[in-house]
Structure 1
């Protein structure tokens, strides 16, 4: 039994800077429920951590479904596709932390990169025993208390405490006890298909190809995919390709025609039609808007909080 819980106040926000700044922090204490689960996986250009302050929920990362429990820490690197799923019943409390941290001295770069490797794990979810968890909870509670004190040095204090929090996770990483739970056979199979789509979206994908790949009938995969994920197979493929195209439009100078090809669209006209369908704008206008709005907060289907 933990002696220390994470301090919480519904709808409490701590904001330092903006997402386009080199130094940016956003702590969002709130709750979410089944009724407001987001529609599809999204991405950010900053780091994000999801800490569950309740009994259970799910997190989907690049098409893989992971069950999470109290105090599990989900570490999400920039541009990774993800979303939270909350079960039916009462709302679940959670803490979302979004951040950018600048490296002020080259001498620290190698060590900082080591610490940030916690976001690069194949399954970037952390679950610790009481001893380690209490250390982490205390650091988060220090940040909460500092934000309430309104000191003239609060930004520096929060920055230092959060850096210590990241270092503590890195220090404890070998004690990570998180292991994915076994899901039902049906759910497991369907999310295996979803994961495959995320890893092969640039290739030709169709109902026939995926059914053959996973030794499933066309009827089975088409009906159960919608039942488990909430999306038809074709819509899921299109949205995965569109999300990846969004990233290339915003964060690279790749020609739009090349982006269409890289993301698995058979023609530019198909790319333009599908992109308009989900983003309500053309790829060209989407890129232009992204360059005008460095916060990316007005761009459709991008800036979302779990």
Structure 2
């Protein structure tokens, strides 16, 4: 069997999710983002990780922290096969009114770099916490949900303190091409409200349109236009949640010249109309 799932609890967009998988064959997780925080712990193998606008080389013992709504994608490096544990949790799982809540718990998700490369002793400590979570979710003894929150808080607090004491892994691009695509992604993230075309961007970054299109898809998992539209829609979601601006003004503000096109793209990516989304998230 090429994939062994030893734990699969909850759903990725739910309040709490944990999955433990071992793979022996090539695997690439497609680009995606979600409204939950993610912790990724690599147990064996090596992975390339594209997060937001940077690429990282991930080795066993590394802890990866991905903030909610950040685009990310993993792919193989070297020999195929890896083992990893993923934890996702929502804002409501450890909310501000929870007795265990403290703002510092989330500091590790807001750092410029997304990876903690743990020393061996700290790897074992983090793995022991995650192992206890795994055991609780399998056995589901009395109060296991409460203990899971306690263990998650311990892991987050340990990680935030570790990040304060130690330098995070300097992000290193897998290749000069990864660096170039990261520069393009950073430009899109900062200028999504401006008109953008593949031909214009390829000229600006000194690449042929065909080569840029192919490598952008290969590294990020998105076509160029998919990424531009997705970035604009994510910003529109934030504005719909946090402001009372008219939908037509939001569409124009995030770079859509046509309100109908905005509506189609929004429904395609979120499965809701802008009006439905605002009503659900207010």
Same fold judged by TM-score > 0.5? yes
Deviation, structure 1 residue 167? 1.2
Question: Which residue of 27, 47, 60 maps to 1:57?
Answer: 47
Superposition pairs of residues 129-148 of structure 1, within 5 angstroms:
129-148=119-138
The question of 1:76 aligning with 2:69 is answered no
**C-alpha spacing 1:179/1:254, structure 2 compared with 1 (3 Å):** same
The question of 1:198 aligning with 2:189 is answered yes
* Aligned counterpart, 1:153: 143
Deviation, structure 1 residue 105? 6.4
**C-alpha spacing 1:183/1:116, structure 2 compared with 1 (3 Å):** same
SS in 1 for 2:84: strand
Runs of 4+, deviation exceeding 6 Å: none
Distance 1:11 1:254 in 2: 46
Please, which runs of 5 or more residues in structure 2 have no aligned partner? none
Deviations along 1:178-223, one digit per CA (max 9) or x if unpaired, are 2222432223212221232123212222235424543445555345
Please, which runs of 5 or more residues in structure 1 have no aligned partner? 1-8, 295-306
Distance 1:230 1:43 in 2: 15
* Aligned counterpart, 1:291: 280
**C-alpha spacing 1:160/1:197, structure 2 compared with 1 (3 Å):** same
The question of 1:43 aligning with 2:38 is answered no
The number of equivalent residue pairs is 273
* Aligned counterpart, 1:239: 230
**C-alpha spacing 1:261/1:149, structure 2 compared with 1 (3 Å):** same
* Aligned counterpart, 1:163: 153
The question of 1:272 aligning with 2:267 is answered no
Distance 1:41 1:196 in 2: 19
Distance 1:14 1:158 in 2: 12
Deviation, structure 1 residue 121? 0.2
Contact between 1:249 and 1:283, CA under 8 Å: does it hold in 2? no
Contact between 2:44 and 2:59, CA under 8 Å: does it hold in 1? yes
Distance 1:102 1:236 in 2: 31
Deviation, structure 1 residue 29? 1.3
Distance 1:90 1:215 in 2: 33
**C-alpha spacing 1:79/1:182, structure 2 compared with 1 (3 Å):** closer
Deviations along 1:261-289, one digit per CA (max 9) or x if unpaired, are 2321122133234445x43966346527x
The question of 1:102 aligning with 2:95 is answered yes
The question of 1:13 aligning with 2:3 is answered no
